[in-house]
């Protein structure tokens, strides 16, 4: 303390930090979140600026154990690192003291409650919804184009084999993913606007709308990343064996999209956060309080009437009703558990499955309402022919969310048939360049087989006409000399 | 013809053969399935023995374009190849003539209908169900062990952070996958016995039971591979970021399991084959014909009565009823489509979504019945304490298949809680050695963090304390010289 220094330690291997991007060989300073102890007393988690590599030599500083974490499922271009610290001393001033302060005499002074840290996480999560929608749309572009080139399994008698895009089962794999990519992107844009307005309010010290935004960004990040991950794999497999080739670029896209299920808040944890908000709002609703706009439906959801022709807004209300019922079930179950367990975290734990279902259904309801409302706005700005395509996509998106229902099947099948003619044009309209898609299967010109062979020929195994392993292994084996 | 030779050609790039394992640099002969033309007349697909590499030099024979297809999502140890042929001549005798013959004078003679080729495909598909169940159980072992080591998020007040295995949401991710792995394996064993008996019948020229076995093996291969693939990813993500490391071995297991969704008959195609059988049996059932045992339920499925306590066999009957309703829906829809379309393949195409659902639900019903019957048999041979664990696993498996139903949720939650204490012991009981698991997260001794760091340190990037890119890129950048 006399030297006005902090001493940083990671006392066990499980205290090592893992994963920050650029930490492995690149960064030379790090902001370290550490438990603060002063004279043996614990003051919680605080941020410290720590030099981890020498500014001149780039060698790790004494006491710093830093390196790269090794190969991963994807994103191998990111220099993810691990960091261990042993008796690393830093000047007192290198504690980031905006929200809490340690005085030269060792006195700890707490500042006002931090508002904006929350906001930063929201920002990252909205960005993730955008990112995964791009990955999804790229995969959809590749699969749709390939399905227009690849021909298999006769449908009509005496006709050549059809484009596989003409198979209903193939359409059912592709078209809902196109719609998802589009409406996830639109949802991200809408939440982005909400974020900007809430950030402005936060700047003025007003945090009233933060919980709603936080809850919304949590469940959308979780739901959209999980759906996009699944969608990319459906699309990859829709290309058969060739989708399994790295040169299709599906494995790379998958690696990036599935990572989003885990980083910036693991999906299950995020859904539980949204669920806590939903249950609280549901209780407020029972007390007839006014609820934030994205959850107003929790107050007065009723099973919608089911006529002969079902309008889109009826389906939206159906999804909202399902979400409300799920929140109610979680709430009731928690009440029961509270009679058995004293600890509130234990009550949450026991209700975990139901809470996660609530948050998931809330995300679906929000996405459906948002899709139908935004499409309605966009439609008015479009030429009729284009507006029709947008309506098709909106219906495919919302019906896909409700598809457990037998009654909607015929309509869904009809939609697939109608959208067939627009599919290739729509994905072309996403305007991903061949370089961005990086796929042998998905180029604009449709020259799939030339690219596949050209790419295969670049495999190192094909460099020599006879691989050296013939001499070292195969020949001795064939001659019985192994 | 005078020279008694066949001439083989792949007239376009899309006629190239892709994917056979060992074809790239290893095989020197291949059995080529080729369209046979004699004097310009087409005689269909037949097998020919073709030397593709020289026996002495291993160089590709003249006219043979052979090589490796490049990096893949997984299974990179398999030397998958491509093959193109240009005017490759082979002696007439190298047509494999068991089932059809070309005489020296060019006359084509058809043999008896081949029975056993069908049988070989069935064999491969039963093996796949076994294989994916092993992959799934390995992933379940890794995730369960890691969940007993990793601690996070307090549940009880004033207790240290619990093993994540104590979180209900984590249990809901893990335990159904353990049960699936076990009962997929048991189903594979049962179908294997059926296969052996049918193969014997085929040897005696009797093919009566082949269609049922074929249909069963198709839908089980498709259903189990798709479920195992999904399960492996659920398990990987249940380990958070560390599951994303290659050293967890999840990516490798996933690569092998997901490949099974595509090879030996793409899943959608296989489900359509099963569905065709199911619709045919359903029609036979309407005519009160006797149906094969695995589809007897199609004749008399009724919605089971739903009492206060639901027995397992009631759930099995419920799944059978759902499958029957789905087959009925597909059948009715096909009838309607037949009024619009003349071509039967078009009728099948239009009904594709419903047909696939039928086959999927049939697989679920079969697996549920099989699990409950086989567990009943096994139970009698076990000590009571062990029998209880088997009952838990059977219930988890069957309930998971029915879990859309609100009424079963509480029971499922109770089961997870009860099975918690057995989880680690059960996966230890699978007896996968650490070498087979090949995972930093899943070793028997639980030393996760030591292994993670040891593995990370082996990354080539960590060889030098300062990576060379510091001199070439980072330093010039920091000095503003880039």
Nearest to B72 among A79, A245, A356 (CB): A245
- The closest of A348, A370, A351 to A220, measured between CA atoms, is A370
Contacts of B157 in chain A (CB under 8 A): 342-343, 345
| pLDDT level of residue A105 (50, 70, 90 thresholds) | very high
Angle, alpha carbons B408-B413-B414 (nearest 5°): 100
pLDDT single digits (tens) A12-64: 999 999 999 999 999 999 999 999 999 999 999 999 999 999 999 999 999 99
Name the CA radius of gyration of chain A, rounded. Answer: 27
Asked if the Cβ–Cβ distance from B352 to A157 is below 8 Å, we say: no
Cα A416 vs. chain centroid, distance in angstroms? 26
Between strands B88-91 and B5-8, the pairing is: antiparallel
Residue whose structure tokens are 């838990």: B392
Q: Per the residue annotation, which of A101, A264, A374, A376 is the catalytic one?
A: A264
Q: How many CB pairs under 8 A join A and B?
A: 235
Among candidate residues A178, A408, A440, the one with its CA nearest the CA of residue B13: A440
What pLDDT score was predicted for residue A482? 64
Provide the terminal-to-terminal Cα distance of chain B, rounded to the nearest Å.
70
What stretches of B16-111 show up as alpha helix (H) in DSSP? none
Cβ distance of B172 and A353 shorter than 8 Å: yes
Which pLDDT band, with edges at 50, 70 and 90, does B307 fall under? confident
User: A272 contacts in B (CB within 8 Å)?
Assistant: 169
Q: What is the Cα gyration radius of chain B? A: 27
| pLDDT score of B117 | 65
With an 8 Å Cβ cutoff, is A9 touching chain B?
Answer: no
Tens of pLDDT along B323-354?
999 999 999 999 999 999 989 999 999 999 99
How far is residue B404's CA from residue B413's CA, in Å, rounded to a whole number? 14
List, for residues B238-275, the tens digit of each pLDDT value. Answer: 999 999 999 999 999 999 999 999 999 999 999 999 99
What is the mean predicted confidence (pLDDT) over B56-78? 97
- The confidence score (pLDDT) of residue A203 equals 85
- What percentage of chain A exceeds 90 in pLDDT? 88
**Chain B nearest CA to A241, separation (Å):** 6
User: Chain A contact for B447, CB < 8 A?
Assistant: no
DSSP state of B432: -
Residues in chain B with CB shorter than 8 Å from the CB of A457 are: 67
Q: What integer is the mean pLDDT of B430-436?
A: 96
Tell me the pLDDT tens digit for each residue of B117-176. Answer: 667 888 999 999 999 999 999 999 999 999 999 999 888 877 889 999 999 999 999 999
Give contacts of A241 with chain B, Cβ < 8 Å.
18-19, 262-263
Q: Which two tokens stand for residue A459?
A: 């495999």
Q: What residues of A are in contact with residue B259 (Cβ under 8 Å)? A: 244
Residue bearing tokens 């679906």 = A364
d(CA B418, CA B392) in angstroms, rounded, equals: 8
Res B417: pLDDT: 94
Q: What is the pLDDT of residue B450?
A: 96
- Tell me if B72 and A244 make a contact (CB, 8 A cut-off): yes
Residue among A68, A450, A466 whose CB faces B59 most closely: A466
pLDDT value at A407 more than 90: no
Determine what percent of chain B is predicted with pLDDT higher than 90: 87
Question: Whole-angstrom Cα distance, residue B132 to residue B230?
Answer: 11
Read off the pLDDT of each residue in A236-247 and give the average, rounded to a whole number.
98
CA distance A333 to chain B (A): 9
Q: Is B337 on the interface with A (CB under 8 A)?
A: no
pLDDT, position B309: 74
Instruction: Pick A406 or B244 by higher pLDDT.
Output: B244
Rounded mean pLDDT, B347-363: 97
Q: Write down all domains in chain B, each with its CATH number in brackets.
A: 5-110 (2.40.110.10), 116-279+314-427 (1.20.140.10)
Reported ipTM: the value is 0.95
Nearest chain B Cα to A56, which residue? B475
Determine which of A420-434, B293-307, B359-373, B389-403 has the lowest per-residue pLDDT on average.
B293-307
Is A467 close to B266, i.e. CB distance below 8 A? Answer: no
pLDDT-derived band at A1 (thresholds 50, 70, 90) equals low
Return d(Cα A374, Cα A390) in angstroms, integer.
10
Q: CA-to-CA distance for B19 and B24, rounded, in angstroms?
A: 9
Mutate to test the interface with A, among B79, B171, B236, B244 (most CBs of A within 10 A): B244
Q: What is the mean pLDDT of residues B202-216?
A: 91
The answer to whether B283 faces chain A, any CB pair under 8 Å, is no
| CA atoms of B96 and B118, how far apart (whole Å) | 17
Compute the mean pLDDT over every residue in chain B, rounded to the nearest whole number. Answer: 94
Q: Which residues of B touch A62 (CB under 8 A)?
A: none
Q: If pLDDT is split at 50, 70 and 90, which confidence band does A116 have? A: low
**Chain B residues touching A51 at Cβ < 8 A:** none
Q: What's the pLDDT band for B482 if we cut at 50, 70, 90?
A: low
- Output the CA–CA distances (angstroms, integers) from residue A35 to A107, A110, B23, in the order listed: 16, 15, 58
Question: Does the pLDDT of residue A87 top 90, yes or no?
Answer: yes
In the block, tokens 């041979």 appear at B381
Residue A348: closest CA among chain B residues belongs to which residue?
Answer: B155
Shortest Cα distance from B69 to chain A (angstroms)? 5
- Rounded CA separation B433/B442 (Å): 10
Separation of first and last alpha carbons in chain A: 70
Nearest chain A residue (CA) to B19: A241
Asked whether B121 and B263 are in contact (CB, 8 A), the reply is no
Instruction: Identify which of B58, B74, B461 has the shortest CB distance to residue A25.
Output: B461
A157 touches chain B (CB under 8 A): yes
pLDDT value for A129:
98
Split at pLDDT 50, 70, 90, the class of A111 is confident
Mean pLDDT of B68-72: 97
Least confident of A35-49, A112-126, A166-180: A112-126
The 3-class SS string of chain A reads CCCCEEEECCCCHHHCEECCCCCCCCCCEEEEEEEEEECCEEEEEEEEEEECECCCCCCECCCEEEEECCCECCCCCCCCEEEEECCEEEEHHHECCCCEEECCCCCEEECCCCCHHHHHHHHHHHHHHHHHHHHHHHHHHHHHHHHHHCECCCCCCCCCCCEHHHCHHHHHHHHHHHHHHHHHHHHHHHHHHHHHHHHHHHHCCCCCCHHHHHHHHHHHHHHHHHHHHHHHHHHHHHCHHHHHEHHHCHHHHHHHHHHCCCCCCCHHHHHHHHHHHHHHHHHHHHCCCCCCHHHCHHHHCCCCCCCCCCCHHHHHHHHHHHHHHHHHHHHHHHHHHHHHCCCHHHHHHHCHHHHHHHHHHHHHHHHHHHHHHHHHHHHCCCCHHHHHHHHHHHHHHHHHHCCCCHHHHHHHHHHHHHHHHHHHHHHHHCCCCHHHHCCCCCCCCCCHHHHHHHHHHCCHHHCCCCCCHHHHHHHHHHCCCC
Higher pLDDT, A308 or B84: B84
Q: Inter-chain contact B272–A169, Cβ cutoff 8 Å? A: yes
Better-predicted residue by pLDDT, A372 or A342: A372
pLDDT given at position A113: 72
Contact A145, A446 (CB under 8 A): yes
Please report the pLDDT score of residue B116 as a whole number: 62
Q: Is A92 on the interface with B (CB under 8 A)?
A: no
For residue A267, list chain B residues with Cβ-Cβ distance below 8 A. Answer: 237
Asked if B87 contacts B5 with a C-beta cutoff of 8 angstroms, the reply is no
Separation CA A12–CA A70 (nearest Å)? 20
The stretch A190-197 carries a mean pLDDT of 95
**How many C-beta atoms lie closer than 10 Å to residue A79's C-beta?**
18
Q: For residues A161 and A405, is the Cβ–Cβ distance under 8 A?
A: no
Q: Chain B 59-88, CB below 8 Å of chain A: which residues?
A: 59-60, 67-74, 79, 82
Asked if pLDDT for residue A133 goes beyond 70, the answer is yes
Q: Is the pLDDT confidence value at A237 over 70?
A: yes
Confidence band, pLDDT 50/70/90 cuts, at residue B396: very high
Q: Please list the active-site residues of B.
A: 264
Q: Does A13 touch chain B (CB under 8 A)?
A: yes
Cβ(A78)–Cβ(A21) below 8 Å: yes
Q: Confidence class of residue A121 from pLDDT cuts 50, 70 and 90?
A: confident
**B354 vs chain A: nearest CA distance in angstroms?**
9
Q: How far is A348 from chain B (nearest CA, A)?
A: 8
- The residue among A166, A167, A169 with the most chain B CBs within 10 A of its CB, best to mutate, is A169
**Residue A405 clears pLDDT 90, i.e. is over it:** no
């Amino acid at each position: 303390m006399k030297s006005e220094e902090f001493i940083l330690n990671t006392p066990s291997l499980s205290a090592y930090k893992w994963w920050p991007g650029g930490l492995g060989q690149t960064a030379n300073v790090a902001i370290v979140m550490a438990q603060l102890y002063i004279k043996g007393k614990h003051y919680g988690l605080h941020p410290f600026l720590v030099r981890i590599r020498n500014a001149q030599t780039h060698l790790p500083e004494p006491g710093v154990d830093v390196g790269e974490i090794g190969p991963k499922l994807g994103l191998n271009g990111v220099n993810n690192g691990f960091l261990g610290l042993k008796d690393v001393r830093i000047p007192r001033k290198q504690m980031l003291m905006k929200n809490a302060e340690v005085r030269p005499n060792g006195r700890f002074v707490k500042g006002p409650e931090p508002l904006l840290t929350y906001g930063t996480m929201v920002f990252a999560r909205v960005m993730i919804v955008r990112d995964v929608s791009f990955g999804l749309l790229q995969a959809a572009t590749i699969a749709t184009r390939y399905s227009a080139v690849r021909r298999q399994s006769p449908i009509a008698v005496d006709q050549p084999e059809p484009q596989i895009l003409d198979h209903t089962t193939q359409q059912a794999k592709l078209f809902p993913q196109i719609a998802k990519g589009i409406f996830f992107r639109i949802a991200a844009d809408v939440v982005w606007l909400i974020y900007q307005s809430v950030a402005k309010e936060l700047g003025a010290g007003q945090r009233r709308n933060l919980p709603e935004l936080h809850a919304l960004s949590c469940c959308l990040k979780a739901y959209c990343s999980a759906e996009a991950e699944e969608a990319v794999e459906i699309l990859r497999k829709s290309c058969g064996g060739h989708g399994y080739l790295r040169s299709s670029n599906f494995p790379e896209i998958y690696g990036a999209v599935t990572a989003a299920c885990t980083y910036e808040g693991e999906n299950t944890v995020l859904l539980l956060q949204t669920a806590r908000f939903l249950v609280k709002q549901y209780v407020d609703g029972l007390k007839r309080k006014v609820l934030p706009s994205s959850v107003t439906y929790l107050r007065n959801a009723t099973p919608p009437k089911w006529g002969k022709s079902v309008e889109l807004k009826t389906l939206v209300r159906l999804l909202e009703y399902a979400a409300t019922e799920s929140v109610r079930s979680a709430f009731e179950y928690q009440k029961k558990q509270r009679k058995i367990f004293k600890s509130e975290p234990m009550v949450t734990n026991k209700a975990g499955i139901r809470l996660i279902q609530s948050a998931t259904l809330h995300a679906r309801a929000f996405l459906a309402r948002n899709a139908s409302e935004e499409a309605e706005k966009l439609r008015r700005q479009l030429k009729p022919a284009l507006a029709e395509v947008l309506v098709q996509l909106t219906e495919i998106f919302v019906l896909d969310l409700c598809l457990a229902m037998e009654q909607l099947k015929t309509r869904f099948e009809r939609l697939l048939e109608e959208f067939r003619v627009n599919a290739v044009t729509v994905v072309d309209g996403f305007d991903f360049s061949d370089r961005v898609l990086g796929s042998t299967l998905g180029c604009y010109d449709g020259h799939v087989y030339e690219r596949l062979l050209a790419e295969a020929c670049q495999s190192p195994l094909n460099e020599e006409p006879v691989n050296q392993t013939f001499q070292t292994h195969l020949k001795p084996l064939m001659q019985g000399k192994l």
